A and B are shown apart, each in its own frame.
Chain A
Amino acid sequence: MRWLQNLSNWLRSLTQRNTVEQELGSELRFHIERQVEENLAAGMSAQEARRAAVREFGSVEQVKEDCRDTRRVNYLENWLNDVRFGLRMLRKSPSFTFFAVAVLALGIAANSAIFSIADNVLIRPLPYRDTNRLVMVWEDASAYDFPKNTPAPGNFNDWKARNQVFEDVAAIANASLNLTGDGNPEDLIGKRVTANLFSVLGVTPALGRDFRAEDDLPGSPHVAILSHGLWLRRFGGDPQIVGKEITLNFEKCTVVGVMKSGVQFPDRETEIWVPTRFTTEQLTNHGNHFLQVVARLKPGVPLKTANANLATIAAQLEKEDPESNAKVGAFAVPLRDELAGDVRPAILMLVGAVCFVLLIACANVANLLLSRATGRRRELAMRLALGATRGRVIQQMLTESILLSLFAGAVGLLLSVWGTKFLATLIPAGIAPMSGSGVDGRVLLFTLVISLSTGILFGIIPASRVSQFHLTYSLKQGGGQSGVGSGGHRLRDALVVCEVALAIVLLAGAALLIRSLQNLYHLDPGFRADHVLVMRTPLPRQKYEAFAPRTSFYNQVLAKVEAIPGVVSAGYTTWVPLTNYGGATGITIEGKPEPAPGNVLIPNTRIISLDYMKTLRMKLVEGRAIEPRDSAGTPPVALINQTMARNYWSGENPIGKNFKVGEYKEKVPWITVIGIVGDVHQAGLDAPARAEMYLPYQQQDFGYEPEYLAVLTSGDPMALAEIVRQQIWSVDKEQPVAGVMPLEDLVDENLSSRRMQASLLSGFAGLALLLVTLGIYAVLSFAVTQRTQEIGVRVALGAQPGQVLRMIFSQGLKLFLIGAAIGLACAIALSRALVHLLYGVSAYDPVSFAVVTILLAVVALLACYIPARRATRVDPLVALRYE
């Protein structure tokens, strides 16, 4: 109970300050009056009695001050006074305040925005139970150029049955689901999943129920779980949706649940989940690789053990089924790593970059504060002379700098709200959950912490300098203009050197990324994307079961589309470039020995129409293109790319050679190579091409159906989008058309994260450049002001303007050179971290390093010029009278 009394006493001292003060005054007055009475009683005269009493008491103010101290409110009051004073000081020099707040706000905003991204992707827990135990399991088919391959259902099934390390294993397959019925026919991005997926993840639907084992049996009634997004978008958030029927791929399907809003598995684009309904036959198929597999480790099982177990099972499967499983391994990757994947290095790079920007901003503001502190020497000296302790003065100065940084933090937070939205596009859709606005309690806290530490960081240097100055010296000086100790110079110089070094590192990183991006833009991807419109028309299996109706659909659509005015040509393909890096088929080459298991040739397979090559303007290197005479009745033909020619027929001319799909014993016709085409970058502009073959769709049924329609137009491709769609619907009015976009968008998207990285880093580097220019300028113009007298003397003694100019320039240049040397050394050490983000340029690219050094040098010289010019115009008479 004593602490309660204690607290109430404290609160009373704090809140009823006036009463407490009055009481203190009358208490002490009473003491003196009482003593006066006593003295009078002892026989002193009235005057003497009072004088004696007062003398005996001593300093009333001191006693009061000590009493206040015991109440521990002084500290808070001091602080409030400091805040009030600080605010007044900031108001008094609005240009300084504006500049400092702006510089810091930019630095803080960059940090907050990047933090919210990093937090989302790398730190924040995923919305699943015990995320650390979730792993993705992949096939290792490095022997076939697929080091991280999508598993076959047979392998998934065997891993699930034989492992000793997982609680449970679930599989996911892509599904294109046509939603028809109410509203426009729509092609939903769906996933076929095993019934245990959500229980493996440890999540339950927000509405309705999870899948049950019986939902996953072939022949059972169709059911689906909607994503939260689809439920809101298409079904208006209907709370009665569970139990309702929808039409998916022309079949009735019951909605059994709606998933919670945060669950977006395996990616952000997934809109709906349906059971896989694998047949026993499918579950024993080891040759068709199209799944994603997620598993939950048993408690306490480390990743290493799981990988060892998977390797053992893979070895067993290799022995049991060499034809499909030779040289196919298996491995697990923690889900968190899987999701963060490619963006991790980019984000870490950006985190580093924004730290640098903030450090430069701090150095800049510290420099300004140092200059200001010099200007305020007299004020501070006066405070010290009047009895303020150095601690109090430091506290007051720190309060000012923290006030600055808190203002900057507030402004920075606002900027980062906008910045985060912009940055969110940096994250590929494959990365799962990305929370809505991006600015939440965590970002707020981060911004607060970083603002406070920034304030302390740039405030502590000038503040601690206070403790070093000599009182009498400072007070004697006229306006506190000259006589700055060399320590002040050195500190400011060191700050500028740091700024230059940090800026060089940022500029060098940006230069390397820009060069990489340039390399990618100038690279020949094997096709031209301009003026090409693409869209998907996935044919529903139920409707187009047979080969003939499918072929007739393609023929009719192509004929109608090519007849549209403004259309140059149109072609169908299974996948346009950059949409699928796989889609491969095993082949056997005539006249070559049957390959041993594990050495099977598996080129990418693209089924195309006549004019597809013309539409994408792919290059024919040798032989002939597919022609109308290659029809269903004639011997099958194929085009192959240069990589396939080089790898499969090294030293021979492949044209006229035969191969077949599958093994020797397979009863399928031989296919003749009729031409070689240039390599097309299918997997991404920065990824090398695989062996690839192109087969005409009209000759035979390959199991892969063309799905992408590409249309080459003479004008803006999107202008023809509607009429092309109408032509498709004129062939089949129920046919869904999805993903209508210019092919250039796919190229842009493919480079978007690189472009974003490069432009962000360039932006930060540009900011750094600006800050450094200001830093150098500020230091030199301050130095010129400080040295006015000295320069005046020099001029009076006969120094030429050129000499004065050189003197100032050399001071600036010295700082720049030291900074640049340190910066280059750091850049070389740090650029190794960028290796993963570069393309076609070495991390030590001398050109990049040279260019940024020259750039910074030019800017530094400009920053030197204005103060240097001012120095040459110093009038010796004025200068000597300066003090």
Chain B
Amino acid sequence: MTKPTDLVQGTLDLLILKTIALEPMHGWAIAQRIRHVSKNVLQVNQGALYPALHRLEQQAWIQAKWGESENNRRAKYYSLTRAGQKYLKSEESNWERLSSAIGLVLKTV
């Protein structure tokens, strides 16, 4: 049972959605992108990544298409569905609220 204990529940979903919002991406690239962008702070475990992708796909927030990868292999590319775009927006604002609230608490106390 490898679950991202170092990430707040649901955060991985948000990170995945945000990452593929720019362009369709395959699993490996999503993990790489998150690592680079977070300057190596967020290491996404494969054991958590793929179940999360499949769950999001199952819930129809994202969709998958097989395509040609940068190294000329067939890879599974994920992109947001229309519902996923809306979902991402609402999740983003939720996150903003939450993190600013936590920030407030941390600053004042």
Contact = CB atoms under 8 A, between A and B. Distances in A.
A9 B60 contact: yes
A30 B54 CA distance: 16
A863 B70 CA distance: 79
B27 A63 contact: no
B54 A67 contact: yes
B55 A70 contact: yes
B46 A63 contact: yes
Contact of B58 (A10, A30, A66): A10
A9 B71 contact: no
Contacts of A10: 58
B69 to A, nearest CB: 7
Interface stretch (B16-24, B73-81, B94-102): B73-81
A151 B104 CA distance: 90
Contacts of B54: 24, 67, 70-71
Contacts of A26: 74, 76
B28 A66 contact: no
A850 interface: no
Chain A interface helix/strand/loop/mixed: helix
Interface in B32-47: 45-47
Contacts of B28: 30-31, 34-35
B73 to A, nearest CB: 6
A33 B73 contact: yes
Interface string A35-48: 10100000000000
Contacts of B75: 27, 30, 34
B2 A62 contact: yes
Contact of A63 (B51, B59, B60): B51
Among B2, B50, B55, B69, the one with the most A-chain Cβ atoms within 10 Å of its Cβ is B50
Contacts, number: 76
A6 B84 CA distance: 13
Given A37-B71, A58-B2, A70 B51 contact: yes
B83 interface: yes
A854 interface: no
Contacts of A543: none
Contacts of A77: none
B50 A67 contact: yes
Nearest to A26: B74
A749 interface: no
B54 to A, nearest CB: 4
A5 B80 CA distance: 13
Contact of B76 (A27, A33, A58, A70): A27
Given A58-B47, A67-B50, A67-B51, A31 B60 contact: no
A71 B58 contact: yes
Interface string A1-45: 110011001100100000000011011101101110100000000
A62 B46 CA distance: 11
B74 A9 contact: no
Nearest to A10: B58
A57 B60 CA distance: 26
A30 B57 contact: no
A56 interface: yes
B50 A72 contact: no
16 contacts: A2-B59, A6-B59, A10-B58, A23-B66, A30-B26, A30-B28, A30-B69, A30-B76, A31-B50, A34-B26, A63-B47, A66-B2, A66-B51, A70-B55, A70-B58, A71-B58
Interface of B: 2, 26-28, 45-47, 50-51, 54-55, 57-60, 66, 69, 71, 73-76, 81, 83
3 closest pairs, A vs B, by CB? A5-B60, A70-B55, A66-B51
Interface of A: 1-2, 5-6, 9-10, 13, 23-24, 26-28, 30-31, 33-35, 37, 56-59, 62-63, 66-67, 69-72
Given A27-B50, A27-B75, 8 more contacts: A6-B58, A30-B27, A30-B69, A34-B26, A58-B47, A66-B2, A70-B51, A71-B54
